[in-house]
Amino acid sequence: MIPSGDHALTETGLAPSGKGRVLVIGCGALAHEILALKRANGWDHLDLACLPAIWHNHPERIEPGIRAAVAQHRADYRTILVAYADCGTGGGLARLCAELDVEMIAGPHCYAFFDGLDAFAARAGDELTAFYLTDFLARQFDAFVWRPLGLDRHPELVASYFGNYDRLIHLAQTDDPALDAAARACAARLGLAHERRVTGYGDLARFLAPRA
């Protein structure tokens, strides 16, 4: 279960142990996808530690969290990868990763690297009025969108928050009818048209793959 509060992810048998050659310090919103890639590809070179997914609502916490996690685990791993994009840090996370000599995945946010940076950039002008969901956000819409915006208490604010959007685009990592239905329901709650785009894991898979 990916936490929605201020707690790091713990996966039995998959918590950082120092046994893998590479540690991925990732956003909790990517935990399901990272573990799926690890299992599907037999990537035994990877261990995973996740920081709280809810920090996307508090991006000022991301840099201190990464700094602390790298300090905690650096002695146990030959390589540390940071599975965060910029995620609202205004370039600060990239500067921190350069300072710490760890590699982070490129991109402004996970929507871009799931879609592929070039493809996302090429469509940007046509999708200025699109609101994006990943599989994670389709699962966790209430915890990460509806309640943090206060829409559970004041649903009349939907028009204020989303009145300038015309569609919801579900960037689907998996072919899951239940998630498709969840994304359609989210679009209906926001009063937006629904569009589904199957991206798979995009640049995340290439970032995690074994290096030569």
Rounded Cα gap, residues 183 and 68, in angstroms: 35
- The mean pLDDT value of the chain amounts to 91
Confidence band for 155, pLDDT divided at 50, 70 and 90: very high
By DSSP bridging, strand 46-51 and strand 22-27 are parallel
**Across 129-136, average pLDDT:** 97
Confidence band for 1, pLDDT divided at 50, 70 and 90: very low
Give the global pTM.
Answer: 0.88
Quick one: angle between helices 62-73 and 92-100, nearest 10?
20
Confidence band for 21, pLDDT divided at 50, 70 and 90: confident
Q: Which CATH number fits domain 22-105: 3.40.50.510, 3.90.1150.10, 3.30.365.10, 3.90.660.10?
A: 3.40.50.510
Phi and psi (nearest 5°) for 196? -115, 130
Rounded Cα gap, residues 209 and 40, in angstroms: 12
Contact call for residues 194 and 187 (beta carbons, < 8 A): yes
Rounded Cα gap, residues 81 and 13, in angstroms: 19
C-alpha angle 202/82/64, rounded to 5°?
135
Q: How far apart are the first and last CA of the chain?
A: 33
Residue bearing tokens 């809810």 = 54
pLDDT at 150: 97
Strand order in the sheet with 22-27: 46-51, 22-27, 79-83, 103-104
Select the more confidently predicted residue: 102 or 11. Answer: 102
Task: Determine which helix (DSSP H) or strand (DSSP E) holds 193, and give its type and residue range.
Answer: strand 193-198
pLDDT at 31: 96
Residue bearing tokens 């035994």 = 44
Residues of the chain with pLDDT > 70, as a percent, come to 90
Contact call for residues 8 and 51 (beta carbons, < 8 A): yes
Instruction: Tell me the per-residue pLDDT of 182-207, one tens digit each, with 9 for 90 and over.
Output: 999 999 999 999 999 999 999 999 99
Rounded Cα gap, residues 112 and 118, in angstroms: 8
pLDDT at 8: 43
pLDDT over threshold 50, residue 122:
yes
pLDDT at 17: 58
Rounded Cα gap, residues 111 and 135, in angstroms: 11
What are the respective helix, strand and coil percentages of the chain, to the nearest 5? 50, 15, 35
pLDDT at 16: 55
Q: Which of 5-19, 133-147, 160-174 has the lowest mean pLDDT?
A: 5-19
